[in-house]
Amino acid sequence: MTRRFAYVIYCFYLCRMFIRAVHKKDKSKSKTYTYYRLTHSYRTGNKIRQTVLLNLGKLENIDKADHKQLANRIEEIITGMEGSLFYENSEKIEELAQSFAKQIAKEKIFPSGKGKMISKNVDKNNQTVDLNSIEQIESKDIGGEWLVKQAFERLAIPEMLEKIALSKSQADIAQLLLTAKLIHPSSELETERWLNENSASLELYDGAETVSRYKLYQVTTKLYNKKEAVDSIIYRNTKNLFSGRDKIVVYDLTNMYFEGQMLSSNKADFGRSKQKRYDRRLIGLAISIDGMGFVRHSKFYTGNVSEPETFKDLVKSIAEQSYPNSEQPLIVMDAGISTEDNLKDLRGLKYDYICVSRTIPKEYTTLSDNAKTIEDNRGNKIHLTKISVDGKDDNFLHIKSDQKEIKERSMDEKMTQKLEAQLTSLNQGLSKKGTVKKISKIHERVGAIKAKLSRIGWLYNITYTEDIAKGVVTAINWERVREREKPKGEYFLRYTENAIAEDKIWDGYNLTRDVEAVFRCLKTDLNIRPIHHRIDEYIEPHIWLGIIAYQVVNYIRINLRQKNINHSWSTIVEKMRSMQSSLVTVNNENNKKFYIKLCTRPTKDQVDIFDALGFKHRPFVRKTKVVTQM
């Protein structure tokens, strides 16, 4: 006969450890102080002996009633017999127990000084359960969710949401929405499904039992109506966490394309797509970041806006912020924005700036005999020379990169071969039957070739030999104009502060790569492009929430880089995915069903990430509920 029930050990010990109080009197002050010691009881023959394992101090953080539970937990850890599935220690007790157990192991207090091991043959309390009834009901992701929740708390986002008058329920939904933007960026409909089915986020927030897309839309709109306040508070919080980077302002403009025609939208328009999607309508996004990559200003534009036109809004936002006289901002920008009018406005406001010169100075005077040579992060040599340009108030820095020259020459050679091969093929076809020869068609073909290879197409003078009577082209002639060519691997920076060193100018300009990294993170890791929204009132909030999510990403990655952890955000999310929240049930012989909520133990990579950020490893270890079945 097969036994249906088996005995399963859940490690309820008749524990051999306890905490003893020791009272010491200070005669000079007439005060009595109480200290606590972890004591181990063991048997030698017919006698019971006791030995002190560790001085625990005053134990001010827990009640005296919890001392036994603390002693039991320490014993479980150091004997390697983890405790019952059916009860849960408080976080304070768990932290203290782990800390004291590590100290015992480190100081090799166990085995004790008397040579007596704590016996593993302890008395046990057995539960009779039906092994066939053990079942895992559900398992949801909780690792990434727990990571970003602690980041929210570190950035004081819950306090910010309370400050802008969101209710407890709305604040929790807002954090759930940001969690989804960070871990599973998608539409509100897909976010609703993911939060309810795949993510354990709801277990981390008390104010939101279920989530619907309608609630997500409502909270999104309410948040975006407070955009200026939210941006200001979050940036101020990051500024308090990372000091010394407020002087730098790096500015750039990008755009994102829509899926669909967007005929009824007032925000979508055709323009010069950064992603080469000229078949799609666009929306423009201008942002400025500080020296550590945190977004300090953002604004939306229609898709056909030009870069120089957006700069006045940035200057206005900077002017509205207060700076000490000695802390005026340094504006860093790319060539697309640094028009003469924009630079004149900055000089009028007495702002310093660094930008790429839109034109190559034809005549200039070097201010130093030898160029200063530095290396980039890949070890490539960069040669820097300060120069003076006649008729310009600004200072200039001539930059020559050996690796950039090699790259540009290689690109030029490939495109030259391609362009001349297409022109040669078109020219040879003029003498063959059945090929294009009409004057208008040939001009169109040549124009298309030059447009497709526009980087070098403008360097060529192309002429035609035409038979006007027949309306055909008989020959195509081309010549490369060397005078039009720009020096390979060279460009010029403009800057206002004359006293700044060459390498500092170079480092300042390189911050433009950080704003490009922001756009790359928004468009790829946070997946805000392409845009699927059809209604204008939801388009800007969709992108803006991605910017708020990026602030959290940047905070996490900066702290990880300081600990030499250089993962991308996508990699971090993937590494966190293995931490699960699982619900397991089991029946005992008394017709009781135990519901046990378990959080998986973090992996080494997860522990490294949590430790680098100073975060707790798990939101909980286990939670148990017992139900009597009829």
pLDDT digits (tens, 9 = 90+) for 260-300: 888 878 888 888 887 788 888 888 888 888 888 899 888 88
**Residue-level pLDDT at 326:** 54
The DSSP element (H or E) to which 171 belongs, if any, is helix 168-183
**Residue-level pLDDT at 555:** 94
CA 260, CA 535: separation in Å to the nearest integer?
12
CA 545, CA 552: separation in Å to the nearest integer?
11
**Residue-level pLDDT at 243:** 66
Query: For the residues 624-628, what does the mean pLDDT come to?
Result: 59
Which range, 3-7, 101-105, 294-298, 568-572, is most confident? 568-572
CA 504, CA 512: separation in Å to the nearest integer?
14
**Residue-level pLDDT at 8:** 34
588: buried, middle or exposed (CB in 10 Å: 19+, 13-18, 0-12)? Answer: middle
Q: Which two tokens stand for residue 281?
A: 């309508």
Q: How do residues 49-78 score in pLDDT, each as one tens digit? A: 788 888 888 888 888 888 888 888 888 777
**Residue-level pLDDT at 428:** 92
Contact assessment for residue 10 and residue 86, using Cβ atoms and an 8 Å cutoff = yes
CA 182, CA 516: separation in Å to the nearest integer?
19
Per-residue confidence band for 324, with pLDDT thresholds at 50, 70 and 90: low
Query: For the residues 438-453, what does the mean pLDDT come to?
Result: 92
Class of the CATH domain delimited by 229-360+489-561: alpha beta
Residue with tokens 């181990």: 40
CA 288, CA 472: separation in Å to the nearest integer?
54
Query: For the residues 556-575, what does the mean pLDDT come to?
Result: 93
Per-residue pLDDT at 14 exceeds 50? no
Per-residue pLDDT at 89 exceeds 80? no
Q: Is the dihedral of CA 282, 283, 286, 289 positive or negative?
A: negative
Eight-class DSSP state of 111: S
Per-residue pLDDT at 124 exceeds 80? no
Per-residue confidence band for 111, with pLDDT thresholds at 50, 70 and 90: low
Q: What is the CA radius of gyration of the chain?
A: 34
Supply the mean pLDDT for the chain: 83
Centre a 10 Å sphere on the Cβ of residue 394 and count the other Cβ atoms it contains.
16
**Residue-level pLDDT at 337:** 83
% of the chain surpassing 90 pLDDT: 31
The DSSP element (H or E) to which 539 belongs, if any, is helix 536-561
Per-residue confidence band for 122, with pLDDT thresholds at 50, 70 and 90: very low
Per-residue pLDDT at 123 exceeds 50? no
Query: For the residues 142-156, what does the mean pLDDT come to?
Result: 95
**Residue-level pLDDT at 143:** 95
| pTM tops 0.85 | no
Contact assessment for residue 395 and residue 500, using Cβ atoms and an 8 Å cutoff = no
The DSSP element (H or E) to which 129 belongs, if any, is strand 124-129
Higher pLDDT pick, 213 / 103? 213
Per-residue pLDDT at 323 exceeds 60? no
Centre a 10 Å sphere on the Cβ of residue 169 and count the other Cβ atoms it contains.
15
CA 75, CA 56: separation in Å to the nearest integer?
14
- How many helices and strands in the chain, by DSSP H and E? 18, 21
Give the least confident one: 197-206, 238-247, 258-267. 238-247
**Residue-level pLDDT at 112:** 35
Which range, 122-136, 438-452, 525-539, is most confident? 438-452
Q: What is the dihedral of CA 568, 570, 572, 575, to 10 degrees?
A: -130
CA 303, CA 254: separation in Å to the nearest integer?
9
Q: What is the dihedral of CA 333, 334, 340, 345, to 10 degrees?
A: -20
CA 621, CA 606: separation in Å to the nearest integer?
15
**Residue-level pLDDT at 1:** 36
**Residue-level pLDDT at 363:** 83
Query: For the residues 235-245, what does the mean pLDDT come to?
Result: 79
Per-residue confidence band for 325, with pLDDT thresholds at 50, 70 and 90: low
Which range, 31-45, 337-351, 510-524, 539-553, is most confident? 539-553
Q: For residue 542, which phi and psi values (nearest 5 degrees)?
A: -60, -45
Instruction: Break the chain into its structural domains and give their ranges.
Output: 6-127, 229-360+489-561, 361-485
Give the least confident one: 75-84, 338-347, 435-444, 472-481. 75-84
Per-residue pLDDT at 550 exceeds 90? yes
Per-residue pLDDT at 42 exceeds 60? yes
CA–CA distances in Å: residue 436 to residues 421, 433, 446, 474, 607: 17, 9, 12, 11, 68
Query: For the residues 76-84, what does the mean pLDDT come to?
Result: 63
Q: How do residues 511-528 score in pLDDT, each as one tens digit? A: 888 888 888 888 888 877
Per-residue pLDDT at 536 exceeds 90? no
Per-residue confidence band for 229, with pLDDT thresholds at 50, 70 and 90: very high
Per-residue pLDDT at 380 exceeds 50? yes
CA–CA distances in Å: residue 3 to residues 126, 132, 239: 16, 11, 66
Per-residue pLDDT at 309 exceeds 60? yes
Q: How do residues 414-440 score in pLDDT, each as one tens digit? A: 999 999 999 999 999 998 888 889 999
Instruction: Mark residue 350 as left, alpha or beta (left: phi above 0; alpha: psi -120 to 50; beta: remaining).
Output: left
